[in-house]
Structure 1
Amino acid sequence: MTQIKAYEGMFQGEPAVFLQAGKYEAVMLPGVGGNLISFRDTESGYRILREPAEGEMEAFRNNPGVYGIPVLFPPNRYEDGLFPWKGEVYRFPVNEEATGNHLHGFLHKANWQVEDYGQSKLESYVTVKAVVDEHHEAYQYLPFRFTVRLKYTLSENGLSQHLFVRNDGDKEMPCLLAFHTAVNAPFAPESEARDYKVKLTIGERWQLSDRMLPTGSYQPLTKEELQLKGEGLYPFYASMDNHYTAVPQNGRNRMELTDEKLGATLVYDVGTSYKQWMIWNNGATEGFFCPEPQINLVNAPKVNLPEDEIGLFGLAPGEIWEETARFYLK
């Protein structure tokens, strides 16, 4: 009989919701950014996401952006911390000294509320939400009232993610979001990083300034980047902190990570509403890398290009935006 259940517990001293469904298990940490911190195939011993090791929880709390699936709202970098929107200029803290920019928004460290969890005959699930209003820390920087809801579901088909954003206020709000997803390579205990190839549905590479901000121009893809969107290549072939347009293949926008030694492929299938990919591999350090689906171009409010091209859009009062993604093994 397949074991399917959802329950509350502790993950290295942090309140958590645990999900089980057959060979899969996952762990959600609502108190640290609504981060889905663990996704494992227990039969094969695969650890798909980078988790804090024993004794690393303090490092995780200080920098949750490089573990699990952190929510970035708004994502990536904003020049001088300035965010122009509909005739106003909002000021974010400059928290990346090297570039003088604001980095990664306000929700990946916030406390999220567990709204529901449970199980059926087919799946286990957890739903968490962040409600931003005058009482939320983020409101001083982004003075809009809105709800972000995340539902993760575990089943024999892997891990699914449903993202929901609703404008609860009376003025149009920006809807800019990404996931700084940290994927292990290798994810199998008997394999090495050199056994892996990654493929992504990238299109053009954005040219970035020395402050890691788009210039509005593209750069030619290297032969390795052509491999990245073709047959795939070793994820740590060079240091990557690169920004690309997303171009679906066969109707899907996805990352595929293949363990060639074992013949196992992890698919991270994200929705086509994500018009950009960021790829970061920690200075080509083997162990994990981050394929980051983004709605918007980095620094989008200050880039003079068509809004639809750079994923810069808003939600009117009462309007909802939602998207889905899935992890599975084949």
Structure 2
Amino acid sequence: MDIRAYEGPYEGEDAVWLKAGRYEAAMLPGTGGNLIAFRDTQSGYRFLREPGPGGIEAFKQSPGVYGIPVLFPPNRYEDGKLPWNGQVYRLPVNEQATGNHIHGFLYTAAWQVEDFGTGRNESYVTVAVKVDEKHPAYEYFPFKYTVKLRYGLSEAGLSQQVLIRNDGEESMPCLLAFHTAVNAPFARGSAAADYRVKLTVGERWELDDRMLPTGSYQPLSPEEKELRGEGVYPFFAPLDNHYTAVPQNGRNRMELTDTRLGVTLVYDAGTSYKQWMIWNNGAAEGFFCPEPQINLINAPNVELPGEEIGLFSLQPGEYWEETARLYVKEASART
């Protein structure tokens, strides 16, 4: 099996490419440590939304809706306020429509390549970003920390390991999500109507007109019940919804099935992600974002138990890490 890791261009940008048999992937360290491509070259599948030829400037304008962007801290914070341990930190208000801060700093930051290469059965790349007084993000979120990402590619698909370390001398909130942009359809010759998505969601959080949680739940629609059951067309309605995560069979996952081909993309996120966001770009066919998220939207401003909303601390010197995997399974009989 051809297993390689090498530096090379992706649409003119510096990238690290991974190859393992039928699979290939590309990482853009200079723009958010974004894993911008995951493909099955044998079958012609492109699982993640990519900028494509001539689209790199559009990607740079909106890097959160391509590939696998890292959100830290993720989602929205009311008026940009992030209270923690008696202090109120002020994040920049960068969503004018709601008056909130959204999505943090790391999905646009430059990450450093620590290592890339091949092992016995995989190719891999490790990138990291270290935040201290010298980093622009420190002005708004004055904690010292390191975030490290390792992607591996093998016959078992794409593995992801994320690690956060508190490098400072005081506790810090651990807040993270991935705004993963998945193609539907991912196969040539298929249409969006051929696709069904399943997600291990539980309750739907009620959001107000600023897209902030009220602390209450809303009843699930019939289609949302299908979302956590047998699966549903991903664009049945405009979705910008936030849910609790409820693992099934011990796993916290999204499954996207091409019913024409009998092929399923599995996104097996770790069970440390207590929330799911799902956004489908106003129900425009082409891609949607199943987003595993540690914490509830606006969690530091919400008066609910930390365990319920995924709000917890990292003490000085502590680590948090989690793994995820994207892989393909084929039905025993084509539908």
TM-score when scaled to structure 1? Answer: 0.99
Provide the residue aligned with 1:299 in structure 2: 298
One-letter code of the match for 2:119?
A: S
What is the CA–CA distance in structure 2 between the aligned matches of 1:120 and 1:70, rounded to whole Å?
26
The alignment status of 1:236 with 2:218, answered yes or no, reads no
One-letter code of the match for 2:215?
A: G
What is the CA–CA distance in structure 1 between the aligned matches of 2:277 and 2:148, rounded to whole Å?
23
CA positional deviation for 1:52: 0.4
Provide the residue aligned with 1:60 in structure 2: 59
One-letter code of the match for 1:203?
A: G
Provide the residue aligned with 2:68 in structure 1: 69
Trace 1:225-264 onto structure 2 (pairs within 5 A): 225-264=224-263
What is the CA–CA distance in structure 2 between the aligned matches of 1:149 and 1:321, rounded to whole Å?
11
Provide the residue aligned with 1:172 in structure 2: 171
One-letter code of the match for 2:286?
A: G
Deviations 1:57-106 (A, max 9, x none): 11111110000000000000000011101100000111101100000000
What is the CA–CA distance in structure 2 between the aligned matches of 1:58 and 1:100, rounded to whole Å?
26
The alignment status of 1:199 with 2:193, answered yes or no, reads no
Trace 1:1-330 onto structure 2 (pairs within 5 A): 2-330=1-329
What is the CA–CA distance in structure 2 between the aligned matches of 1:178 and 1:328, rounded to whole Å?
20
One-letter code of the match for 1:115?
A: E
CA contact (8 A) 2:23 2:40 kept: yes
What is the CA–CA distance in structure 2 between the aligned matches of 1:19 and 1:203, rounded to whole Å?
35
Deviations 1:204-255 (A, max 9, x none): 0000000000000000111110000000000000000000000000000000
What is the CA–CA distance in structure 1 between the aligned matches of 2:41 and 2:178, rounded to whole Å?
24
CA positional deviation for 1:114: 0.1
Deviations 1:179-200 (A, max 9, x none): 0000000000110000000000
Report the secondary structure of 1:32's partner residue: coil
CA contact (8 A) 2:11 2:52 kept: no
Question: Alignment identity in percent?
Answer: 73
Report the secondary structure of 1:278's partner residue: strand
What is the CA–CA distance in structure 2 between the aligned matches of 1:91 and 1:13, rounded to whole Å?
36
What is the CA–CA distance in structure 2 between the aligned matches of 1:328 and 1:11, rounded to whole Å?
22
What is the CA–CA distance in structure 2 between the aligned matches of 1:113 and 1:166, rounded to whole Å?
16
What is the CA–CA distance in structure 2 between the aligned matches of 1:108 and 1:157, rounded to whole Å?
26
RMSD: 0.4
CA positional deviation for 1:121: 2.6
What is the CA–CA distance in structure 2 between the aligned matches of 1:225 and 1:78, rounded to whole Å?
26
What is the CA–CA distance in structure 1 between the aligned matches of 2:179 and 2:49, rounded to whole Å?
11
What is the CA–CA distance in structure 2 between the aligned matches of 1:6 and 1:110, rounded to whole Å?
23
Structure 1 segments of 4+ aligned residues over 3 angstroms from their partners:
none
What is the CA–CA distance in structure 2 between the aligned matches of 1:252 and 1:210, rounded to whole Å?
32
Deviations 1:112-134 (A, max 9, x none): 00000000231000000000001
What is the CA–CA distance in structure 2 between the aligned matches of 1:190 and 1:3, rounded to whole Å?
27
User: What is the aligned length?
Assistant: 329
CA positional deviation for 1:13: 1.3
Show structure 2 runs of 5+ residues with no match.
Answer: 330-335
What is the CA–CA distance in structure 2 between the aligned matches of 1:62 and 1:94, rounded to whole Å?
17
One-letter code of the match for 2:271?
A: T
CA positional deviation for 1:12: 1.1
Report the secondary structure of 1:194's partner residue: helix
What is the CA–CA distance in structure 2 between the aligned matches of 1:314 and 1:138, rounded to whole Å?
19
Report the secondary structure of 1:283's partner residue: helix
CA positional deviation for 1:53: 1.5
One-letter code of the match for 1:225?
A: E
What is the CA–CA distance in structure 2 between the aligned matches of 1:82 and 1:298, rounded to whole Å?
12
What is the CA–CA distance in structure 1 between the aligned matches of 2:171 and 2:139, rounded to whole Å?
17
